[in-house]
């Protein structure tokens, strides 16, 4: 993301007020629920969003996921920063 407002690893993301992450039994999927929006999450998105609690930094989230997925930290960092930046631009996540 080349946006000037792109999050850094020191940011402490949290779901925006009114936004919730919930498991839907009918769909058997994690959903990001926001006013007038329902977004079905895919892949590791739920793992990222469940850690966006306003306490952990993006760097801490990246480190945790790199350990869970035994993946290259730089690759995980790119994915986490892109997702959090995109959701912040849509006002679904606060930085």
30-68 per-position pLDDT tens digit = 999 999 999 999 889 999 999 999 999 999 999 999 999
Our count of domains for the chain comes to 1
Confidence (pLDDT) at 5: 62
CATH number at residue 29: 1.10.10.1150
> Does residue 5 sit within a domain?
no
Give a yes or no: residue 66 inside a domain: yes
Name residue 15's beta-bridge partners: 93
Beta strands in 1-95 (DSSP E): 14-15, 20-24, 29-34, 37-40, 93-94
Domain containing 76 equals 14-90
**Residue 50 within any structural domain of the chain:** yes
What predicted TM-score, i.e. pTM, was given to this entire model? 0.87
CA distances for 46 relative to 27, 42, 49, angstroms: 15, 7, 5
In a domain, 1, yes or no: no
pLDDT at site 17: 96
Q: What is the structure's pLDDT at 43?
A: 85
């Amino acid at each position: 993301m080349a946006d000037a407002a792109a999050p850094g690893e020191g940011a402490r993301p949290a779901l925006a007020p009114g936004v919730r992450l919930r498991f839907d039994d009918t769909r058997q999927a994690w959903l990001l629920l926001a006013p007038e929006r329902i977004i079905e999450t895919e892949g590791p998105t739920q793992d990222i969003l469940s850690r966006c609690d306003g306490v952990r930094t993006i760097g801490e989230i990246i480190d945790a996921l790199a350990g869970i997925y035994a993946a290259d930290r730089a690759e995980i960092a790119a994915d986490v920063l892109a997702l959090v930046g995109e959701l912040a631009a849509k006002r679904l996540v606060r930085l």
